[in-house]
Structure 1
């Protein structure tokens, strides 16, 4: 019992602060343990994180097994799995954002368990296609899209300043299943062709002979490289050495432009919110219906996250960001959320979107693209634009026939 309380409290802190910033003293105190008693259960912060991540993977494996046994078909199994995973009555689990924080072989163990769970979820979808109750879809992207929405939902309430509880979990769970099964479009067989390539949209003129521009470009390259590695490995799993090496620089070069790692992290969030806001602005300017605008936001974000220089995803560690930045980032995330909600409401009113819980759909749909860089391999067979097409195809009409 003490160990379960310890791991649940640790999971909360990992989700709030990130794996590398949890306080063992604080966790021990909240779990009713002395610091010495804590070491009866774990050896250090990395071991505690490993046990929390192992618990997350084992819970997913159990939920998938129960869903397989109890579900009469693929859609029922997906529903049972999603509802069990997001049930507020079940213990708090750590989101698998920082596996690279773990030393080997623990890192490999967690990644392998997570991969197996995703493959099982993908098999549910494949079975549904064979049964004729799920549309022919890109099963890997479909499974990862659902997985991303589920994972994001366990973190988003912090970013969006919501109170986690039974009511919120029921609302977002219902919206995930409704969106994944039935999509956003009001009419059957609706399609969407995004007219914008993110790479072109975000391209900037650059004069290598202008000293100020050259400095800004070097900083921009470091921020983009850091965002990519933080998305893939987690903020605590990517070091300054990793980031500098990825652009052929030294760690000293990073410190030339940034005071410390937290300064770099805040600059990554600054860039991310600039991009997220730009995508909403472009969608509002170019879309003609609520549906078109909503899907353009989704497509642009999917392209960006699948591309080589993605914006930093919103992830665990919010409470580790300095308060002045944290409050502003939360306000920015809430403003983008409200603007996306308004697009969906507009779509319901103009008849282009299905009636839905627009507020919850605007929340959960972000998980579809925010988790992309966690699984998408380098040199993936599809281009970023094609990945975005596949994701949007799933969220337009849903997977259920």
Structure 2
């Protein structure tokens, strides 16, 4: 703060705005954590205020109501996924590598507060107009994934498949991580993301001599039966 007789005890407008944004994000993040733990309808603004050590009226300086909080939490989660998919799609290299980068980021994001809120709560509790806006963001993510899949099919790095169905399946599998992930579960988000991508792309089937032995054992079991 400047010194001297003209020094002002009030912060500059830019500093006040930056401080407000930091506090607003803290309100949103804390609410997202509670939504993830208890559910949207079971969480009250009193609980959000209590966890932040502020009064309930203080919250209204940063948000209008609980619906706005959920809208913002889901929006942030969607924008994180959309941004990571867009960056992956715009990168250099084969489409399969772009898709892997996008999938990996998606899997990590849904283990974080806003991404988890996107999956565990989503837009369903919100009014129709809010749901419409959020679903438009979902459509952008879907288009990013479809575009990478189509590019991969064209260049030969991805097998021929229906891009729409494939994009839906990938998003569904990756989203479900946000349902069961627990921070104390033993695996980091990055480790989970790597395993998820590997399993989705490579499958569970053994290859080579190991695969032949599995088929032979299965055949022997059926014959014995």
TM band (smaller chain): 0.7 to 0.9
Is 1:281 the counterpart of 2:89 in the alignment? no
Where do 5+ consecutive residues of structure 1 fail to align? 1-208
- In the TM superposition, 1:310-349 aligns within 5 A as 310=115, 312-314=117-119, 318-349=123-154
Question: Closer, same or farther in 2 for the Cα pair 1:355/1:230, shift >3 Å?
Answer: farther
Deviation of 1:227 (Å):
2.6
Q: Which has the higher contact order (CA 8 A, sep 6+)?
A: 1
Deviation of 1:322 (Å):
2.5
Question: Closer, same or farther in 2 for the Cα pair 1:234/1:363, shift >3 Å?
Answer: farther
Q: CA offsets, 1:31-78, max 9 Å, x none?
A: xxxxxxxxxxxxxxxxxxxxxxxxxxxxxxxxxxxxxxxxxxxxxxxx
Contact 2:74 2:123 in 1 (8 A): no
Q: CA offsets, 1:60-103, max 9 Å, x none?
A: xxxxxxxxxxxxxxxxxxxxxxxxxxxxxxxxxxxxxxxxxxxx
User: How far apart, in 1, do the equivalents of 2:93 and 2:29 lie?
Assistant: 32
Deviation of 1:300 (Å):
0.7
- In the TM superposition, 1:34-53 aligns within 5 A as none
**Map of 2:19 onto structure 1:** 214
Contact 2:74 2:115 in 1 (8 A): no
**Map of 2:181 onto structure 1:** 376
Where do 5+ consecutive residues of structure 2 fail to align? 1-13, 207-225
Q: Scaled by the length of structure 1, what TM-score is found?
A: 0.44
Question: Closer, same or farther in 2 for the Cα pair 1:304/1:245, shift >3 Å?
Answer: farther
Question: Closer, same or farther in 2 for the Cα pair 1:244/1:389, shift >3 Å?
Answer: farther
Is 1:251 the counterpart of 2:18 in the alignment? no
User: How far apart, in 1, do the equivalents of 2:179 and 2:50 lie?
Assistant: 20
Is 1:265 the counterpart of 2:70 in the alignment? yes
**Map of 1:297 onto structure 2:** 102
Q: CA offsets, 1:9-39, max 9 Å, x none?
A: xxxxxxxxxxxxxxxxxxxxxxxxxxxxxxx
Contact 1:229 1:243 in 2 (8 A): yes
User: How far apart, in 1, do the equivalents of 2:179 and 2:124 lie?
Assistant: 21
Is 1:398 the counterpart of 2:203 in the alignment? yes
Is 1:388 the counterpart of 2:193 in the alignment? yes
**Map of 2:163 onto structure 1:** 358
Deviation of 1:309 (Å):
5.3
Deviation of 1:315 (Å):
5.6
User: How far apart, in 2, do the equivalents of 1:305 and 1:316 lie?
Assistant: 12
User: How far apart, in 1, do the equivalents of 2:29 and 2:190 lie?
Assistant: 19
Contact 2:123 2:134 in 1 (8 A): no
Report the RMSD for the aligned CA atoms in angstroms: 2.4
Aligned-partner SS, 2:159: coil
User: How far apart, in 2, do the equivalents of 1:374 and 1:397 lie?
Assistant: 23
User: How far apart, in 2, do the equivalents of 1:266 and 1:365 lie?
Assistant: 24
Deviation of 1:215 (Å):
0.5
User: How far apart, in 2, do the equivalents of 1:347 and 1:386 lie?
Assistant: 25
Aligned-partner SS, 1:256: coil
Deviation of 1:262 (Å):
0.6
Q: Scaled by the length of structure 2, what TM-score is found?
A: 0.74
Contact 1:299 1:392 in 2 (8 A): yes
Aligned residues: 193
In our comparison, the structure showing a higher alpha carbon Rg is 2
